[in-house]
Amino acid sequence: MIEGRAMGSMGANCYLFACMETKKAVIIDPGADGKRIYRWVLEKGLKVDYILLTHGHVDHIGAVDELRELLGDVLVGVHAGDAEMLTDGKMNLSSYFGHGLVLKKADILLQDGQELTIGKERINVISTPGHSPGGVCFLCSEGLFSGDTLFAGSIGRTDFPGGSMDQLLSGVKKKLLVLPEDTRVFPGHGEETSIKEEKRDNPFLV
């Protein structure tokens, strides 16, 4: 099961991915509205094992510590390249909006190729730096969570500190566009797309 909802003033997509047989779940990119996300989890009757972050910008991490408290026994994972963003308001860009978000450290430093188990489901970590130094995507049986690496008809911006257009395009082309064309893509902002649609229509990739 995958469900997504836009959270916060910047409308970043937060996703629930669950193994419905075991009711084990993962939250991906809880950017804001922690109590709303918690109610969503309760409505589905799920047990969240992990909070996984595609990258460390404020609009994707804002509700992490609130959910840690509400959920209790949960592990937070981010790639090592973005780990410092959780504890540094300037690096996660929140200081530029006036409130300087500082979170606890991650429990897991994710690595390219790492596999995590959620009930009887698995999530694979794909390192795709470029939007941020530690940007990753998550591949599961139902599709790809692409964060701010790949959008419907676009790609992530690379003008933030640590960004690189060359890195981003290389990662997308070498690691994402090689996936089966029917792979569903769940981006960090905006509507769902597919690998086939992006190979065919994305002006940054043709």
Residue range 20-69, pLDDT digits in tens: 999 999 999 999 999 999 999 999 999 999 999 999 999 999 999 999 99
Are 198 and 156 in contact, with CB atoms under 8 Å apart? Answer: no
pLDDT band at 97 (very low <50, low <70, confident <90, very high): confident
Q: Hey, where are the domains in the chain? A: 2-201
pLDDT band at 108 (very low <50, low <70, confident <90, very high): very high
Are 185 and 144 in contact, with CB atoms under 8 Å apart? Answer: yes
Q: Which CATH number fits domain 2-201: 3.60.15.10, 3.90.105.10, 3.40.190.10, 3.90.1480.20?
A: 3.60.15.10
Query: What percent of the chain lies above the pLDDT cut of 90?
Result: 97
CB proximity list for 97: less than 8 A, separation 6 or greater: 58
Q: What is the pLDDT of residues 1-29, one digit of tens each?
A: 999 999 999 999 999 999 999 999 999 99
pTM: 0.97
CB proximity list for 36: less than 8 A, separation 6 or greater: 5, 7
pLDDT of 98 higher than 80: no
pLDDT band at 96 (very low <50, low <70, confident <90, very high): confident
